[in-house]
Copies of this chain bind each other. A is one copy, B any other.
């Protein structure tokens, strides 16, 4: 695997490496949302939220569609949700390992 491909993959992973952005993705997994709908769910300045969304758009995870003043966001790549299953697998197996260590 070459350097450029590794960098490209890392960019995608990096976009998902934030609780805020994962929450956005989770929200979008249940349907289209505009930023104004997401805002109440995130206790932060709208500029910050906008930048988080921009990061997801930049790597192609999230797509958009303008409707009047509002911009509706949607998941561009559904397999992202499978990634979460794997992440949970890692988390569970790590929890198990930790439990083993503690118990003996």
Q: Indicate if the CB atoms of A86 and B89 lie closer than 8 Å.
A: no
Interface size of A as a range: 35 or more
Which of A9, A18, A19 is most buried by chain B, counting CB atoms within 10 A of its CB? A9
Task: Mark each residue of chain A from 45 to 83: 1 if its CB lies under 8 Å from any CB of chain B, else 0.
Answer: 000000000000001110000000000000011011011
Total identical chains: 2
Main SS of the interface on chain A? helix
| Residue positions of A touching B, CB distance < 8 A | 1, 3, 6-10, 12-14, 16-19, 22-23, 26, 59-61, 76-77, 79-80, 82-91, 93-94, 97
Which are the 6 A-B pairs with shortest beta-carbon distances? A60-B94, A79-B86, A14-B17, A6-B19, A13-B17, A17-B17
